[in-house]
């Protein structure tokens, strides 16, 4: 079958969306005081509501997959269509005009970070087993990377994997694992050799989160939600077929995931907070709060707008490189760095404009609702690699500056 042109593909996508979803009622214009009065990135919904949202995401992902839009760029042998990144972007742009469930719980980590790593390093039979299920929405994946003493210094992982015949036995603790409470699959980074430099003694495994010995414990965030988890691995037996890459070569596998992680985090805009953090909404907020005559606030507003524009241009550059078939480059780390800084600055600007009304609910629209984003901003500057780590990577590996003293 020939590759459809972008125009023909767009027509096909519109027909699918018209048949399975409802166009958004809004024309995109921001009217202060209208629309959802909530500004959040991380969920703090009751568990039952969160579960219902996850199920809706699964259902929509399955509908997309069964109609040829679940993995537009993926290999046909795993249910993809082998079309270009440009086709994928066309579909995303069209779907943005429809009311559909948020599939971030499925796509951001599992499909955006782990699936590309599996394609590059997992065995064909494992990819056959898991990849169609992931892109159909049947299996959600999580990263079992960070540990209490190995966050930004990921090579310091202490979770051990010991060979036992055709299996490996895993023991250790992971922490800050996003989405583990919903996941059926996990990618675990483990220590398999202690007699070599730490980067050279790591191996990665895919584990079924329902296997005996896997214990997921949610961590409560100060914003009220519990999207992060501790995961304990207690004598978890993993078949050697679930090993990704060679023994002790897991750092190379891990870096594949981290490059895709930074590209995903840095290039996704503001996720659920996209509309309230848009330039149009911030300008409407500036006027509605009466701070448009305050020179200091106007200066901070201008800086935020300039940073947003620079990030958008950088994201466009990343997309052009992706269309050309290039792997994520230094822009991924820069994009991730700017993403966290932008949301932090926006939250602080909102605090400046709303004042005490962000701390106590006075009933004024668009004021108290911002505290969820403000309380979530510390996480933006840590997830996917701390700002300090990102700056070191850019300084040492891109600018060629001297390595930071140990």
Using one digit for the tens of pLDDT, what is the confidence trace for 43-59?
Answer: 667 778 888 999 999 99
- Is the per-residue pLDDT at 1 higher than 70? no
Q: Where are the alpha helices (DSSP H) in 199-291?
A: 250-267, 279-288
- Segment (H or E) for 51: helix 47-66
Over residues 10-19, the pLDDT tens digits come to 999 999 999 9
* Domain definitions of the chain by residue range: 37-136, 141-248, 269-398
Task: Supply the pLDDT for residue 70.
Answer: 96
Both tokens assigned to 363: 């009933």
pLDDT at 223: 67
Q: Which of 50, 147, 227, 261 is catalytic?
A: 261
Architecture of domain 141-248: Beta Barrel (2.40)
**What number of H helices and E strands is found in the chain?**
12, 10
Q: Which fold has domain 37-136?
A: Butyryl-Coa Dehydrogenase, subunit A; domain 1 (1.10.540)
Pairing of strands 243-244, 202-208: antiparallel
Q: What pLDDT, on the 0 to 100 scale, is given for residue 269?
A: 52
* Residues 255-283, mean pLDDT to the nearest whole number: 70
What confidence score (pLDDT) does residue 38 get?
A: 79
DSSP 28: S
Q: Which residue has the tokens 């519990």?
A: 226
Whether residue 261 lies in the annotated active site: yes
Which CATH architecture fits 269-398? Answer: Up-down Bundle (1.20)
Per-residue DSSP letter, 406? -
Contact 167/138 with Cβ under 8 angstroms? Answer: no
- What is the average pLDDT value for the chain, to the nearest integer? 87
Which helix (H) or strand (E) element contains residue 239? Answer: strand 228-239
CA-to-CA distance for 237 and 171, rounded, in angstroms?
Answer: 9
Residue 234 has pLDDT above 60, yes or no: yes
Ordered DSSP codes for 166-218 = TEEEEEEEE-S-TTTTT-SEEEEEEE--SSS-GGGSEEEEEEETTSTTEEEEE
**Residue of 89, 83, 95 whose CA lies nearest to 22:** 95
Predicted TM-score of the model (pTM) = 0.81
Of 13 and 381, the one with more pLDDT: 13
């Amino acid at each position: 079958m020939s590759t459809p042109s972008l125009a023909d593909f767009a027509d096909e996508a519109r027909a699918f969306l018209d048949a399975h979803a409802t166009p958004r009622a809004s024309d995109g214009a921001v009217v202060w005081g209208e629309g959802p009065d909530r500004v959040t990135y991380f969920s703090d919904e009751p568990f039952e509501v969160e579960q219902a949202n996850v199920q809706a995401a699964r259902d929509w992902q399955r509908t997309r997959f069964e109609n040829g839009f679940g993995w537009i760029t993926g290999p046909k042998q795993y249910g993809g269509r082998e079309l270009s990144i440009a086709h994928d972007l066309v579909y995303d742009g069209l779907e943005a005009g429809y009311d559909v469930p948020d599939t971030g719980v499925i796509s951001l980590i599992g499909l955006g970070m782990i699936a590309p790593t599996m394609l590059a390093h997992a065995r064909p039979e494992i990819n056959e087993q898991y990849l169609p299920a992931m892109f159909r929405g049947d299996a959600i994946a999580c990263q079992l990377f960070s540990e209490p003493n190995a966050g930004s210094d990921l090579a310091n992982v202490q979770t051990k994997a010991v060979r036992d015949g055709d299996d490996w036995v895993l023991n250790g603790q992971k922490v800050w694992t996003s989405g583990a409470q919903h996941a059926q699959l996990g990618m675990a980074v483990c220590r398999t050799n202690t007699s070599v430099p730490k980067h050279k003694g790591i191996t990665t495994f895919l584990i079924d989160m329902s296997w005996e010995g896997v214990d997921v414990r949610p961590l409560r965030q100060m914003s009220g939600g519990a999207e992060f988890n501790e995961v304990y691995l207690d004598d978890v037996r993993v078949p050697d077929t679930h090993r990704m890459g060679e023994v002790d070569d897991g750092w190379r596998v891990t870096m594949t995931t981290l490059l895709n992680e930074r590209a995903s985090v840095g290039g996704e805009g503001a996720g659920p907070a996209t509309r309230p953090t848009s330039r149009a909404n911030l300008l409407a907020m500036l006027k509605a709060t009466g701070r448009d005559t305050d020179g200091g606030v106007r200066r901070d507003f201008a800086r935020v707008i300039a940073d947003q524009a620079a990030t958008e241009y950088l994201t466009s550059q990343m997309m052009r490189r992706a269309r050309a078939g290039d792997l994520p480059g230094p822009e991924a780390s820069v994009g991730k760095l700017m993403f966290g800084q932008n949301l932090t600055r926006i939250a602080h600007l909102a605090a400046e404009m709303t004042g005490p009304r962000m701390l106590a609910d006075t009933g004024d629209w668009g004021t108290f609702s911002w505290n969820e984003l403000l309380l979530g901003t510390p996480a933006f500057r840590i997830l996917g690699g701390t700002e300090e780590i990102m700056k070191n990577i850019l300084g040492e590996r891109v600018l060629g500056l001297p390595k930071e003293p140990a």
